Structure 1
Amino acid sequence: MGHEHDDMSPESKDKRVAIAIWANAILTLAQIAGGIFAGSLALIADALHNFSDMASLVIAFAARKISRRPADASMTFGYKRIEVVAALINYTTLIIVGFYLIYEGGMRLIDPPQIKGWWVVWLGAIALAVDTLTALLTYSMQKDSVNIRALFLHNLSDALASVAVITGGALILLYDLRWVDPAITIGIAGYILYLGLTEIGGTIKTLMLGSPLNIDTDAVILALKGIDGVIDVHHVHCWQMDEHEASLDAHVVIDTGAWDQFEDIKHRIKMVLQADFAIRHSTLEFEHPDHRHRDAEIYGHG
């Protein structure tokens, strides 16, 4: 996983998120009012998606602030993982909104209402401008943060939804195809669900202390066993401490003839972990062959 770029300060990134919050708040109110007046469910669907974006932005903004707190007695690992929690909340809201819109779209598809097409087109165009602005504000930040990536996907899907809403409004104006509005709503919802369900897995895995997605733990063990003096490795735990830092715990059995060199072996192990797997934090317990754990599992505590 990459690290935050040095060309933008945390304060500048916070300012970008704050601008996006205000833009989405104003847009949400305008779309809800316009959607009710125009009778467009697609417009209200887009507004609800924008509202979830605004809530996600607020959560992300707060999470970024909290994540900078130093470790203390009650949170010895620090607070950085709160950004992963924020991402989980944001993906969950995407999924809930997606299912709700499919239900509402299905009801409207059965009995399409009268819709004011011009209102749909104009408000959809305004939404597209705001969604594009928000996506641009978060694009450069999303590469380094699962929290901001969740926001970026929210806003990217919003921009695409706004294009669909404008297209639907135009078809209603030209051909009076009222069924297009709920059909587009269902399409938007399907895309929202796709984004949420495909992205939430990695976030859940991180919170479940799963192995980092970019690290092959079997390869890590093979590399450690290949170091001179190491005869076995077991009780291995590899997890993501936060978005950017991976950690490893392991019991390492040292050959009897190399027992007096275990400090050198430890140094070589840490160098391999850092150079080959970008694992900069490791806790190693060394065992003498005569006092090693018998029938120990490679992973876990068994």
Structure 2
Amino acid sequence: MSISYQSYRGNNERKGVDLGKYIQEKKSWENLPKQVKKKLGSAEQYKQKVQQFAFKHQLRSEGLVSMLFPKKKQYYQMVLDYSIARRKLFPYHLSDVVKALDITPFKFYIETLVQVMLDSSSYDSIPNFPANDIVRLLGIGRNQYIDMMNKIKRKSFSFFGKKKDKQIRELLPKKPIRPSSDMQAWFEVIHYPLNENEYNIELNNKEKLVYDHLVKNGPTFAYTLDYETIHQLYGRGHIYVKVSISAQDYIKFPPLEKFVMNKDATDHFDKFLYKLFVTHNERMTVEETAEILNEGLENVIQGFSLFCRLGIGKQINFTFLEPIHTSWDQKN
């Protein structure tokens, strides 16, 4: 999903440099206005600021970003490292490219928690929505986190460096829990490429049928496929989902249970999601909510897509155009 760069304004923008605008316009250093060059300083400083902006907003490697950082795999690894260090949400909008780095949301949040615990930081240091995604995928909330930290502190000897890292990892789950909200019927299911060995060894016959269907037909609505099979494939990282939202969609927020609300949410996107959450109501379209918030439509669409992915929101105007697989009876 693309990002409306102008909706995010950081330190450089407050100084009068709309960095997002120049990234969107693919402006190289040579093509920047003279007054902008003067404010930024040098070509190297411009590159550094573009890099910081790209990392902060988890931008896709395209346009100016790809020109400045031509090694895509290296760039996406840097985005992931930056996001983990700053306890950001997993970049679901980059699911199609980060798979090559052997990183899943589960692994991403394991690394996040390892870093938080190595720093002996409080649970409140994790922004609200990443914290909720961690609960959703790892089953670790505030109480579980405090319990793990206490277990480490109760050890009769100190852990440093690799020993402490190992101790923390031993306490963390080895596989994701399966949240019931993971897959809504209208999500689109997409396959990750598998090599011959993975296909023959890791998939059973039923899974091969579904996987073959996805290879042949491309993105497919989840409700047309066997519920258990796609969840099994999804849990093992063989498929991913696309959560498409349009400007005219209506999104409902069912009553939340055990929603994590941390005190120290300073992440810009986390703040934006919270503002979106408290402003929206189900009688408003996505576009109307964007207008009320005076936010870029693409950003609001991305926010609602995340809400639905995390099980916080549900689209209520989706029309089922194909037969619904019987395994979806009474689901969602």
TM-score between both structures, scaled by the size of structure 2: 0.24
Q: In proportion to residue count, which structure has more strand?
A: 1
TM-score between both structures, scaled by the size of structure 1: 0.26
